[in-house]
Amino acid sequence: MARTRMPYIIAEMRSLEEFHKRISGHRERLRRRFLEYGLSAFTDEDILEMLLAFGTPRRDTRATARELLKRFGGLAAVLEAPLEKLTEVPGVGPRNALPLKFVHEVARRYLRRRLEKKEYIRSAREAYEYLAHELKHRPQEIFKVIFLDARGRIIEVEELFRGTLTETAVYPREVFARAFQHRAASLVLAHNHPSGDPRPSGADLELTRKLLLAGHLLSIRILDHLIIAREGYFSLAEEGILEKLEREL
């Protein structure tokens, strides 16, 4: 019986060896492509395939990467997804989900460190990139504040309030309590719109008006209110709305 099965076992082993060779060759081509051309030569599927492969190097992760993109709708959404949601996808377990979460946290720390002690005006783009990374794909509204010193340098960026899909309760007294603790001279407000539309709502304008008034009374300037969404961002300062609200006050 054992002798009868031996040719099949050998054939299976050879087939498995050939499979691993194909996987190794494909991954090596991806590595060379990255070293030669950088990430711009990669599709989102390529990126996820490589990240998953760090956790499961001897498995074909192409189909799993494709399923992740289909399930979550895009690379950023995959990286933002909670671990428990990722592991619901066939082929994803704690081992190969770890690189996905790790690279996301590395990017977050890198963008945050680029902001430290920099002037907001000179690093407005970097501030937007950090805030977009933090807020763009969050499923609920998050309200953050960038605290700046008298020279316009960024002291700290903090998440102060978290809400639902459509709104967040923001309390001006807590915003300015944190501003005094940081000895901030000015603030940049930011929150996200999970709907994808960055245009300000009536509630957004009313909140900005209240914070402008409180800041005026406490001698703390509001430099901007940024609204981050999947379709981009909206700056109340750039659009002249902040100046208009200040004139009204």
* CATH 3.40.140.10 residue spans of the chain: 118-248
Report pLDDT digits (tens) over 59-95. Answer: 788 889 999 999 998 888 888 888 899 999 998 998 8
Beta strand ranges found along the chain (DSSP E): 142-148, 154-162, 186-192, 221-229, 232-235
Helix (H, G, I), strand (E, B) or coil at 94: helix
Give the pTM: 0.67
Summarize pLDDT for 149-203 with one digit per residue, the tens: 998 888 989 999 988 666 668 889 999 999 999 999 999 999 999 988 999 999 9
pLDDT of the residue at 68: 94
Q: Which strands sit side by side in the sheet containing 142-148, from one edge to the other?
A: 154-162, 142-148, 186-192, 221-229, 232-235
The pLDDT assigned to 25 comes to: 59
Note the pLDDT of residue 3. 52
Q: With 80 as the cut, is the pLDDT of residue 238 above it?
A: yes
Q: pLDDT: is 118 or 167 the higher one?
A: 118
Which pLDDT belongs to residue 11? Answer: 46
CB 230 within 8 A of CB 137: yes
Strands 186-192 and 154-162: unpaired
pLDDT digits (tens, 9 = 90+) for 130-149: 888 888 888 889 999 999 99
Per-residue pLDDT tens for 94-110? 888 888 988 888 887 88
| pLDDT tens-digit readout, 193-236 | 998 899 999 999 999 999 999 999 999 999 999 999 987 889 99
The third-level CATH classification (topology) of the domain covering 118-248 is Cytidine Deaminase; domain 2 (3.40.140)
